[in-house]
Amino acid sequence: MKDSHCKKAYITTPIYYVNDVPHIGHAYTTIIADTLARYSRLVGIETFFLTGTDEHGQKIEEAAKKRGKNPKEYADEISKKFRDLWDYMEISYDKFIRTTDPEHILGVQKAFEKMYEKGDIYKDYYEGFYCVSCESFFTQTQLIEGEYCPDCGKPTQIVKEESYFFKLSKYEKDLLKWYEDEEKCIIPKSKKNEVINFVKQGLQDLSITRTSFEWGIKLPKSINDPKHVIYVWLDALMNYITALGYGTDEKLMDFWPAKVHLVGKDILRFHAIYWPAFLMSLDLPLPKHIAAHGWWTRNGEKMSKSKGNVIDPKEVSEAYGLENFRYFMLREVSFGLDGDFSQRALIDRINSDLNNDLGNLLNRIIGMSGKYFDFEIDSSNVLKYHQKELKEAMSHIEKLPEYIYNVQTNRYLEELWKVLTLANQSITIYEPWKLMKEGKNEEAMALVALIANLLAKTAIMLSPAMPKVANKIADALNFKIDTQSYKKLIVNEELLDSFKIKKIPPLFTKVEKELLKEKKVQKEEKKSSKKEKTPGIITIDEFFKVSLKIGTIVEAEDIEKSDRLLKLKVNLGEETPRQIIAGIKEFYSPNDLINTQVCVVANLKPAKIMGLLSQGMILAAKDEEGLSLIRPEKRKKEGTPVK
Ligand code: MSP
């Protein structure tokens, strides 16, 4: 496999505001960044991974005041919660920066000074609207109904104060040129287009100081204007260079420019417009990639403390397993799109992808090697019998670097799972038990060794996402996951040397029911015991338990023995289409159904109908005139939720 990359990589998460406790949205950004950092180290790149907390600004000042604390005290408390969570989640950060760190403060002042000396900062009056929640400035025309923040919908404040301005407008052309020259400077592409359109509408100079509150970094002494504090976004963005010592001790600055800044879509504008403009002003190179992910919602709603629907990543990890949770977050949604968190979907991933495809495969191979070969594995005849399978596995593995560099962790894992599918299929096709019966021991050994090697390669490439699980697999297969084994088994496409397989406990256990349910149900029950239940009325939460999805019928055939049933294969955007047995034969013929779309109940317990497995139900409306399938008005992507 080709193996070309840079020598050093600097990977960052946003720094988290300390006005809120961490939830799965924050964990998502951090898990992706951690996976990228681990991948980078695995392939032998010297990597620096930064995370931290954003502690200044009006929002934090107000949050502290509400709790009767001074801002620093309050920031210490919440910052620790983030750090403790990342430590609990074994996030492999190299530095945890706080914007209250003295080196950061000095670095920001140095940067301000440099931009000022360059003539990029001037003093004027700001008159406009400010959203404290987003820490953003707006003109009245940008507001909703002339009053509300276009980003978060909260009321804005009228601000009229003396302010220093950054000449953002001066960098408009250079920014547009950067977007044009560097195809992947902002990923995914859809998000890049949004940024370009925004900049093309024209950039106004940016107010970068405030005088109406105190909790922020003062201007550098050389400017001598003590009533001003530096705008929180200028302060915060600078963390990416002050963490490397900018303006103080610059010995880590050779990690700059960042390989990737990972951000949520809500803060892309700050990273893709303000940040590169500040860097241009400082004569520093621009980041290689700014990667924007979508948002996690809960039952289709934004998560917030006031709605009480915030999910604690620690609680999910404790209930379902830390790495299972990581796998789910990385696998479940396409990078850049929003995702809805549901325990059902998490359980499906654990039971199907992890337990069935991966865990059971390892168990089988341990079992077979023990039964047939006293746990000894010898790869010497794998190429003789299974060159085709090895080639196919490598064709999947070769696609992985491209996916990871595009931050498409979902596609990365999906592609990696094709290696496991191949391994599982090989057992079914070659039937090692038969080979043994027929005395073809050499062939049986080649097959068992093939599977062991496919598992080893999978473990190496899985290790950035699930480090512990990957190490357990490696332990069973008697090798170590590191850059050396990556080079040997992945880059050089070699095989494991002969070894004795080790029996280890199963990697996963099947999850039978929602593990976070009890607490929620208790809460709901408490709530509902106070209110009278109206018969026949369900709550919105009860409705959301049903997962409805759009699917495309890819195959349809008659079930001969039945005059009511058809056998359908419906693509719901999953790895394999679902088989659904539907009672619609009187109204539809198979040919009319192929390539049409339907609405499917996707989380119905699978059932056997006339001995055939049915993995879902299709929605239809039936009256005296007949039956009509419920279909989307326009074609939708397979798997699109119906709400
Ligand atoms: N402090 C700023 C970032 C400054 S970086 C120089 C900030 N902090 S934040 O705590 O509000 O958000 C941090 C990150 O968490 C953002 O990338 C944001 O998109 C992400 N998320 C917060 N809630 C989220 C979800 N519900 N879903 C996914 N990610 C979300 O913005």
User: What is the structure's pLDDT at 141?
Assistant: 82
Q: Is the per-residue pLDDT at 541 higher than 70? A: no
Q: Are strands 597-601 and 339-341 parallel, antiparallel or unpaired?
A: unpaired
Q: Using CA positions, which residue lies closest to atom 16 of ligand 1? A: 264
Average pLDDT rounded to a whole number, residues 258-282: 97
What six digits make up the tokens of 145?
A: 């109904």
Do 410 and 492 sit in the same domain of this protein? yes
- Range of lowest pLDDT (274-288, 377-391, 396-410, 524-538): 524-538
User: Looking at ligand 1, which atom is closest to the CA of residue 265?
Assistant: 19
Residue-range definition of the domain harbouring residue 594: 546-629
Q: Is the per-residue pLDDT at 529 higher than 60? A: no
Looking at residue 104, its amino acid is H
Q: What digits encode the pLDDT tens for the residues 317-343?
A: 999 999 999 999 999 999 999 998 999
Average pLDDT rounded to a whole number, residues 619-637: 87
User: Looking at ligand 1, which atom is closest to the CA of residue 19?
Assistant: 10
Testing ligand 1's pocket by substitution, the residue of 266, 302, 332, 409 carrying the most ligand atoms inside 8 A of its CB is: 266
User: What is the structure's pLDDT at 523?
Assistant: 46
Q: What digits encode the pLDDT tens for the residues 357-382?
A: 999 999 999 999 999 999 999 999 99
Distance 15 CA to ligand 1 centre (A): 8
Average pLDDT rounded to a whole number, residues 53-67: 93
Domain boundary among 500, 519, 538: 500
Distance 264 CA to ligand 1 centre (A): 6
Do 348 and 488 sit in the same domain of this protein? yes
How far apart are the C-alpha atoms of 99 and 233, rounded to whole Å?
Answer: 11
φ, ψ for residue 272, nearest 5 deg: -95, -15
User: What is the structure's pLDDT at 532?
Assistant: 41
User: Looking at ligand 1, which atom is closest to the CA of residue 266?
Assistant: 19
User: Looking at ligand 1, which atom is closest to the CA of residue 239?
Assistant: 6
How far apart are the C-alpha atoms of 488 and 154, rounded to whole Å?
Answer: 55
Q: Using CA positions, which residue lies closest to atom 21 of ligand 1? A: 25
Distance 336 CA to ligand 1 centre (A): 14
Distance 267 CA to ligand 1 centre (A): 7
Distance 13 CA to ligand 1 centre (A): 9
Average pLDDT rounded to a whole number, residues 453-461: 98
431 domain residue, yes or no: yes
Do 589 and 465 sit in the same domain of this protein? no
User: What is the structure's pLDDT at 527?
Assistant: 46
User: Looking at ligand 1, which atom is closest to the CA of residue 264?
Assistant: 19
Do 457 and 578 sit in the same domain of this protein? no
Do 362 and 491 sit in the same domain of this protein? yes
Q: Using CA positions, which residue lies closest to atom 18 of ligand 1? A: 264
Per the structure, the count of domains in the chain is 2
Percent over 90 (pLDDT), the chain: 78
φ, ψ for residue 198, nearest 5 deg: -65, -45
Do 473 and 407 sit in the same domain of this protein? yes
Average pLDDT rounded to a whole number, residues 545-555: 91
Do 377 and 483 sit in the same domain of this protein? yes
User: Looking at ligand 1, which atom is closest to the CA of residue 296?
Assistant: 27
User: What is the structure's pLDDT at 546?
Assistant: 86
574 domain residue, yes or no: yes
Q: What digits encode the pLDDT tens for the residues 416-448?
A: 999 999 999 999 999 999 999 999 999 999 999
459 domain residue, yes or no: yes
Question: CATH number for the domain including 404?
Answer: 1.10.730.10
Q: Using CA positions, which residue lies closest to atom 5 of ligand 1? A: 14
Distance 27 CA to ligand 1 centre (A): 10
107 domain residue, yes or no: no
Testing ligand 1's pocket by substitution, the residue of 11, 19, 21, 29 carrying the most ligand atoms inside 8 A of its CB is: 29
Average pLDDT rounded to a whole number, residues 585-594: 90
Q: What torsion do the CA atoms of 85, 88, 91, 92 make, to the nearest 10 degrees?
A: 130
Distance 401 CA to ligand 1 centre (A): 26
User: What is the structure's pLDDT at 397?
Assistant: 98
Distance 150 CA to ligand 1 centre (A): 17
Q: Using CA positions, which residue lies closest to atom 11 of ligand 1? A: 17
Average pLDDT rounded to a whole number, residues 126-148: 88
Distance 25 CA to ligand 1 centre (A): 7
Tally of CB atoms within 10 A around 325: 24
Domain boundary among 500, 531, 563: 500
Q: Using CA positions, which residue lies closest to atom 12 of ligand 1? A: 16
- The answer to whether the CB of 14 falls within 8 A of the CB of 267 is yes
561 domain residue, yes or no: yes
Token pair 């241009």 is found at 280
Q: What digits encode the pLDDT tens for the residues 181-209?
A: 999 999 999 999 999 999 999 999 999 99
Do 354 and 489 sit in the same domain of this protein? yes
- Range of lowest pLDDT (144-158, 264-278, 433-447, 589-603): 144-158
Grade residue 625 by pLDDT with cuts at 50, 70 and 90.
confident
User: What is the structure's pLDDT at 528?
Assistant: 42
- Between 531 and 550, the higher pLDDT residue: 550
Do 359 and 429 sit in the same domain of this protein? yes
Q: Is the per-residue pLDDT at 624 higher than 80? A: no
Distance 23 CA to ligand 1 centre (A): 10
Average pLDDT rounded to a whole number, residues 243-269: 97
Q: Using CA positions, which residue lies closest to atom 10 of ligand 1? A: 16
Distance 28 CA to ligand 1 centre (A): 10
User: What is the structure's pLDDT at 4?
Assistant: 64
Q: Using CA positions, which residue lies closest to atom 23 of ligand 1? A: 25
Q: Using CA positions, which residue lies closest to atom 13 of ligand 1? A: 16
Grade residue 545 by pLDDT with cuts at 50, 70 and 90.
confident
Q: Is the per-residue pLDDT at 607 higher than 90? A: no
What angle, rounded to 10 degrees, do the helices at 467-476 and 360-373 form? 10
User: What is the structure's pLDDT at 522?
Assistant: 39
Average pLDDT rounded to a whole number, residues 461-479: 98
DSSP run (H or E) holding 48 = strand 46-54
- Give SS3 for 11: strand
User: Looking at ligand 1, which atom is closest to the CA of residue 297?
Assistant: 26
Distance 237 CA to ligand 1 centre (A): 13
Q: Using CA positions, which residue lies closest to atom 29 of ligand 1? A: 25
Count the alpha carbons within 13 Å of 347 in the hemisphere toward its beta carbon: 14
Distance 630 CA to ligand 1 centre (A): 38
Distance 260 CA to ligand 1 centre (A): 16
- The answer to whether the CB of 229 falls within 8 A of the CB of 214 is yes
Grade residue 534 by pLDDT with cuts at 50, 70 and 90.
low
User: What is the structure's pLDDT at 379?
Assistant: 97
What six digits make up the tokens of 596?
A: 């049409």
For residue 158, the cross-strand partners are 129
Do 345 and 404 sit in the same domain of this protein? yes
Q: What DSSP state is assigned to residue 641?
A: B
What six digits make up the tokens of 400?
A: 């992985």
Do 436 and 354 sit in the same domain of this protein? yes
Distance 26 CA to ligand 1 centre (A): 6
329 domain residue, yes or no: no
Residues 6+ apart with CB under 8 A from 77: 69
Handedness of CA 433, 438, 441, 446 (dihedral sign): negative
- Range of lowest pLDDT (158-162, 290-294, 368-372): 158-162
Looking at residue 110, its amino acid is K
User: What is the structure's pLDDT at 517?
Assistant: 61
181 domain residue, yes or no: no
Count the alpha carbons within 13 Å of 570 in the hemisphere toward its beta carbon: 29
Q: Using CA positions, which residue lies closest to atom 30 of ligand 1? A: 25
User: What is the structure's pLDDT at 610?
Assistant: 78
Question: CATH number for the domain including 551?
Answer: 2.40.50.140
Domain boundary among 463, 485, 500: 500
Q: Is the per-residue pLDDT at 521 higher than 60? A: no
Do 551 and 492 sit in the same domain of this protein? no
Q: Using CA positions, which residue lies closest to atom 24 of ligand 1? A: 25
Residues in the ligand 1 pocket, defined by CB under 6 Å: 14-17, 25-26, 28-29, 54, 236-237, 239, 263-264, 266-267, 295-296, 303
What is the average pLDDT value for the chain, to the nearest integer?
92
482 domain residue, yes or no: yes
- Range of lowest pLDDT (82-86, 142-146, 485-489): 142-146
User: What is the structure's pLDDT at 401?
Assistant: 97
Grade residue 303 by pLDDT with cuts at 50, 70 and 90.
confident
